[in-house]
Amino acid sequence: MKYISTRGNAPKLAFDDVLLTGLARDGGLYLPETWPQFSTEDLADMKGLSYTDLAVKVMLPFVEEAISREDLSAIVSDTYAGFDSGDIAPLVKLGENEYVLELFHGPTLAFKDYALQFLGRMFDHVLTKRGAKLTIAGATSGDTGSAAIEACRDRDNIEIFILHPNGKVSEVQRRQMTTVLSDNVHNIALDGNFDDCQNTVKALFADEAFRDQVHLSAVNSINWARIMAQVVYYFWAAFKAGAPETSVAFSVPTGNFGNVLAGVVAKKMGLPISQFIIGSNANDILIRFIESGRMEAKNVFATTSPSMDIQISSNFERFMFELLDRDSSALNDAMEEFKETGHYAVTELFMERLKEIMDGERFDDDATAKIIGEVHKETGYLLDTHSAIGVGAARARRWDETVPMICLATAHPAKFPDAVEAASGVHPQLPEHLSDLYVKEERYIELPGSFNAVKGYIETTLKERGKL
Ligand SMILES: *Cc1c(COP(=O)(O)O)cnc(C)c1O
């Protein structure tokens, strides 16, 4: 299996190179050259598999020639061994033909663990084989940082530096990062806001000499290996809800479009999915796009679903590439226009094709709180703010009541306790394995919001660790 860039101007790579590269050299995103196919018979055979066996079956065609079946199988087993549900991703029935797929049974209680726990182990495997090392740098406003830290902790080939805005992330989120005392984990509380953190990280990547010297890499959601690991739970949930004998629909609370894209990939591979619904908060660039055919960036608002507070959805590019029948030149034109003007428009034909499979809805913070309260009253089930947007969007936009609707629950309610309690009157409890979070020792360094301070700290730390 080889991978090509959406922009059509980067070398074709094998899976292990795509894993370490992230963004393609032409600025595009890597995708498999062809989509592996499962027939209805294949699907019927896959239906009884355990989560880990299913994961190997679904991912093997994507890694062929780069990773052996035995290695993939060992990595997958290790990845999900620590999850706190035997089912890994339990499907819970909310009502008639309405389900919630719980994707918060990993170490940091958000769906990002399903991909990042895998990615960290994959990195380690490939780096060990090559005798190579990586320095990972990232900025976080909350969720991604803790999931990345949990994924990379105690891995000999990786040093990870995560910047968060000092005093501006929730206490749960900060503690999930700073109570990881592993020697290769370095938390930086930066004097500034999230944009300052992100700009500092961007400047590190732009410093080519530094980037090469420390083998700088990222773990953001444009990495193909993350999407690939997420494809698995679409198959898993669809089977539990009746596929392949019936088609199913998915509703996905969406930010960067990585999660819903994994569902689109599952459909490409033969899984019968009749509709995708995307849910947004007040940062509704995708909903405005569905309504108007025009993609336009605006300022970011802070909401009670902070993991979806995005300006643009970077993974939308892969979806667009597919809807354009992989026409790189048309895609380049749109991306060029976006870079220059902050917006682009697509053709009517493009929108027709999109609307054959996708719909979406937006909810502000009040509407989100209302959904949490209603669902809790109706069913006793407690949704977090992100998952509530998925359920709300499903109810507002589903095309066919007879098709099972699977709403992705992307975070545990205890990650956002204040908003959930205000909406439902119930204080969500942290699961057992995190119950000591508020008493554990924290470790982080406070730095001024200056590029040189951060760069200097990384250099000094790598030297002390014998990595430079
Ligand atoms: C990251 C995140 C999302 C958004 O997922 P995308 O793949 O960026 O669309 C939704 N909910 C939670 C809880 C998240 O952490």
Query: What pLDDT digit, counting tens, does each position of 8-60 carry?
Result: 999 999 999 999 887 888 989 999 999 999 999 999 999 999 999 999 999 99
Query: 406 with 99: CB under 8 angstroms?
Result: yes
Q: What is the pTM of this model?
A: 0.96
Residue 170 has pLDDT above 90, yes or no: no
Other Cβ atoms less than 10 A from the Cβ of 118: the count is: 25
Mean pLDDT confidence for 243-263? 97
Residue 311 has pLDDT above 90, yes or no: no
DSSP 245: T
Report the Cα 320 to chain-centroid distance in Å.
18
In ligand 1, which atom is closest to the CA atom of 261? 7
Identify the pLDDT of residue 222. 87
In ligand 1, which atom is closest to the CA atom of 310? 8
110 lines ligand 1 (CB under 6 A): yes
Distance 229 CA to ligand 1 centre (A): 14
116 lines ligand 1 (CB under 6 A): no
Can you give the residue ranges of every domain in the chain? 91-109+224-424
pLDDT, the chain, mean: 95
**Ligand 1 pocket test: which of 410, 412, 415, 416 has the largest number of ligand atoms within 8 Å of its C-beta?**
410
Residue 142 has pLDDT above 80, yes or no: no
Mean pLDDT confidence for 110-138? 95
DSSP 110: B
Mean pLDDT confidence for 253-270? 97
Identify the pLDDT of residue 380. 97
CATH for 91-109+224-424 (1.10.3730.10, 3.40.390.10, 3.40.50.1100, 3.40.50.620)? 3.40.50.1100
Identify the pLDDT of residue 370. 98
Identify the pLDDT of residue 221. 79
Identify the pLDDT of residue 202. 87
- Measured CA to CA, the distance from residue 175 to residue 149 in angstroms comes to 12
Please report which confidence band the pLDDT of residue 288 belongs to, taking 50, 70 and 90 as the band edges: very high
Upstream peptide bond of 448 is cis (omega within 30 degrees of 0) = no
Dihedral sign, CA of 290, 291, 292, 298?
negative
Identify the pLDDT of residue 198. 85
Residue 310 has pLDDT above 90, yes or no: no
254 lines ligand 1 (CB under 6 A): yes
Q: Among candidates 420, 459, 433, which has minimal Cα distance to 179?
A: 433
112 is catalytic: yes
Mean pLDDT confidence for 439-452? 96
